[in-house]
């Protein structure tokens, strides 16, 4: 394997590792569950994609590339869905927002009894 190719793989994996480390730092430092979800999902998905891309480039076999692309596709498809479900469940569960939050667009718009977004003229849902 040529030296340049190996260097490119190393750089890809190191940048991915840096993104994974930043997601861990954001998980501890962010003040709010929703910010933590956002930071962790985006950053660790990108980091994982870069690390697996570097791995696939390093081996350069069909079987490894197929597996790595499958993992990347699966993570890119499922991470937003899982993050959205956790955010929705925690909002309905009543997890508090950060004390410095200016606008809460969803305040009072959920029917907390039946768990759906109510229409504006519907008033007697939460009784």
Partner 1 sequence: MSIIQTAMYISLPIIILSVFIALIRLIKGPSIEDRIVSLDALTSMSIGFIACYAVLTNSTMVLDVGLILALLSFLATVSFAYYIERRHFQ
What residue ranges bind partner 1 (CB under 8 A)? Answer: 3, 6-7, 9-11, 13-14, 16-18, 20-21, 23-25, 27-28, 33, 36-37, 40-41, 44-45, 47-48, 51-52, 54-55, 58-59, 61, 63-64, 67-68, 70-71, 74-75, 78-79, 81-83, 85-86, 88-90, 92-93, 95, 113, 115
Nearer to partner 1, 63 or 121 (CB): 63
Q: Say how far apart CA 103 and CA 105 lie, in whole Å.
A: 6
Distance of CA 23 to the CA centre of its chain: 10
Q: Say how far apart CA 92 and CA 66 lie, in whole Å.
A: 39
DSSP state of 124: S
Nearest distance, CB of residue 104 and partner 1, angstroms: 17
Burial group, residue 68, by CB count within 10 angstroms (0-12, 13-18, 19+):
buried
Nearest distance, CB of residue 125 and partner 1, angstroms: 14
- Beta strand extents in the chain (DSSP E only): 110-111, 116-117
Burial group, residue 50, by CB count within 10 angstroms (0-12, 13-18, 19+):
buried
Nearest distance, CB of residue 2 and partner 1, angstroms: 11
Nearer to partner 1, 3 or 123 (CB): 3
Nearest distance, CB of residue 15 and partner 1, angstroms: 10
């Amino acid at each position: 394997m040529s030296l340049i190719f190996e260097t490119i793989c190393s750089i890809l994996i190191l940048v991915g590792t840096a993104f994974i480390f930043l997601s861990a730092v954001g998980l501890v430092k962010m003040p709010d569950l929703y910010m933590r979800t956002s930071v962790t999902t985006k950053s660790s998905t990108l980091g994982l994609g870069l690390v697996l891309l570097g791995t696939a480039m390093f081996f350069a076999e069909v079987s490894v590339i197929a597996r790595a692309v499958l993992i990347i596709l699966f993570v890119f498809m499922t991470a937003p869905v899982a993050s959205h479900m956790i955010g929705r469940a925690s909002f309905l569960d009543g997890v508090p927002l950060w004390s410095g939050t200016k606008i809460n667009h969803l305040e009072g718009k959920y029917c907390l009894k039946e768990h759906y977004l109510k229409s504006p003229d519907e008033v007697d849902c939460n009784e």
